[in-house]
Structures are given as structure tokens and as C-alpha cells.
């Protein structure tokens, strides 16, 4: 019995040593590459908004692509800066196929939950997205983001509600991502589904989609402050009174973190 007990104790010690060694390697990789830290938090995901704020003080990305269901290009860029403690601001510009113009937005973000303390990460983000660079009309979008990390595996989910001040346009979104870090690679799945809520009025009745979906495998490779990411997958799009159109979306981009 003593031999069995000593063997079990030795096995526990060996397992703990291996786990600590893996953690040391993991922390060493992140210390040498802020872009890897940002990617592991989901900062460079094309669809889902990270639930983690402030592990890197500043990050930015730009991406471009094509969506065959809309037969139009995709373009997106963003920069996020930690202001103080759990607070950050984010500026973003996205090309809208609905209006065929770039739509700038500004957002305030706050970290409400930390996994180290609460078991999950949780963040609230409020965007104001204008119709264009020269227009003051726009939409207010509120994101509730929740995430959890299981060693190298991460899960993130977003619930989104958007509405213009006049109430002509209302929509909801569900975004979700799951990804795994392997060395300097972050590999997983990223998706977004959006749907109109109620009857749309004014210009939104003919330009805003009743339903659209984008999702698929996503990959990021990071070295030092630079990360490169790409996503390829199915897409779907439907305007009110029109048939559903399906296609493929391809997105690639470059990110940086400091």
C-alpha cells in the first residue's frame, strides 16, 4: 500500500510539473507577442466582439474581402484603446453593402466581469454608428459579450440589439466564436446571424436585410506586435419580400497590438 501511495503521489507531482511547464510556455509566448495576447482574447475576430478588455492597451486591425451572397466587397477597420481600468473606447469604420458607403462608429466599452474573479469574462459595449462620414443620422447598437477560457480553448458569445433614434430600424444579432490557441496560431470558428425585429420603416424597409448570416473557420497567426487573420465560410442574405440568397464570404486582414 505504501508503494502504491508513493507512486500516486509521484504521479500527481509529475502532472503538476507538466501543467506548470505548459503554463510557463503559454505566458512566455504572450509576453513576447502582444498580438498573440490580443488574438487569444478574440480581438481580431471578424464577426464576434471580445469579452475581454485591457490585456493589451492598444490594438488595431484592418480587413477586406468579398461576400458573394450580396455580390459586394467587405471592408472593416477598428482601433481600441484602454482608457482607465475596465474602460476602453473603440473607433471603427465598416463598409455597408446596404447603403454602398463607409459607416464610421464610435463606442464605449466597460469590463463588468473578470474570469479570474467571477468565472467568466463579461463586457458591455455601446456603439453609435452613423450612415456616413457626412451624416449625423445613425444607429445605436448595444453589445453584451460573455467569454470563458479553458486553458487554450476559448468561447465567446454576443447578444446585440440595434435601433435608430426614430425607431424605423430595429434588429437583433447573435454572434459566437470558439477557438483554440496552438503556439502562435489561433484556430477556430466565428459566426454572426442578424435578423430584423418587427416591421422596418422608411429607407430601412428596402435597404436593411430581413435576415443575414456569416460564419466559418477563422485562423490567426501572430508574431511580436503583428497578427494576420482570415475567414472563409458560407453566407446568406435576404431583403423583405425577396428570396434568400446564399453564397460564400472571404475575409482577410492585418492586426497590430502594443
The domain locations on the chain are: 1-32, 33-257
Mind listing the pLDDT tens digit for each residue in 118-133?
999 999 999 999 877 7
In whole angstroms, give the CA distance from residue 175 to residue 157. Answer: 6
Mean pLDDT in residue range 32-60:
96
CA distances from 76 to 61, 84, 93, 211, 248 (A): 8, 26, 6, 20, 18
Nearest residue to 208 (alpha-carbon basis) of 165, 237, 173: 237
Q: What percent of the chain has pLDDT over 70?
A: 83
Is the model's pLDDT at 1 over the cut of 60? no
Predicted local confidence at residue 44, as pLDDT: 98
pLDDT digits (tens, 9 = 90+) for 155-200: 999 999 999 887 778 899 999 999 999 999 999 999 999 999 877 6
Answer yes or no: is pLDDT of 21 > 50.
Answer: no
Q: What is the pLDDT of residue 166?
A: 78
Residues 42-51: tens digit of each pLDDT:
999 999 999 9
pLDDT at residue 120 in the model: 98
Query: In this structure, which topology does domain 33-257 adopt according to CATH?
Result: Porin (2.40.160)
Amino acid at each position: 500500500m505504501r508503494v502504491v501511495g508513493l507512486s500516486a503521489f509521484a504521479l500527481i507531482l509529475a502532472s503538476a510539473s507538466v501543467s506548470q511547464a505548459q503554463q510557463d510556455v503559454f505566458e512566455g509566448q504572450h509576453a513576447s507577442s502582444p498580438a498573440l495576447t490580443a488574438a487569444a482574447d478574440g480581438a481580431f475576430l471578424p464577426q464576434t466582439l471580445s469579452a475581454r478588455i485591457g490585456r493589451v492597451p492598444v490594438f488595431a486591425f484592418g480587413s477586406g474581402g468579398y461576400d458573394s451572397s450580396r455580390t459586394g466587397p467587405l471592408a472593416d477597420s477598428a482601433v481600441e484603446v484602454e482608457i482607465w481600468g475596465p474602460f476602453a473606447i473603440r473607433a471603427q469604420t465598416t463598409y455597408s453593402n446596404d447603403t454602398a458607403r463607409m459607416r464610421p462608429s464610435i463606442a464605449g466599452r466597460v469590463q463588468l466581469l473578470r474570469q479570474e474573479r467571477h468565472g467568466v469574462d463579461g463586457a458591455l459595449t455601446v456603439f453609435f454608428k452613423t450612415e456616413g462620414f457626412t451624416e449625423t443620422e445613425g444607429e445605436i447598437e448595444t453589445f453584451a459579450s460573455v467569454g470563458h477560457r479553458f486553458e487554450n480553448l476559448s468561447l465567446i458569445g454576443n447578444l446585440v440589439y440595434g435601433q435608430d433614434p426614430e425607431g424605423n430600424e430595429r434588429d437583433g444579432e447573435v454572434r459566437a466564436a470558439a477557438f483554440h490557441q496552438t503556439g502562435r496560431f489561433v484556430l477556430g470558428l466565428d459566426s454572426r446571424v442578424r435578423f430584423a425585429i418587427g416591421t422596418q420603416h422608411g429607407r430601412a424597409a428596402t435597404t436593411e436585410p430581413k435576415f443575414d448570416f456569416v460564419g466559418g473557420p477563422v485562423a490567426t497567426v501572430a508574431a511580436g506586435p503583428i497578427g494576420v487573420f482570415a475567414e472563409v465560410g458560407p453566407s446568406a442574405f435576404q431583403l423583405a419580400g425577396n428570396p434568400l440568397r446564399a453564397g460564400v464570404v472571404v475575409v482577410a486582414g492585418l492586426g497590430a497590438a502594443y
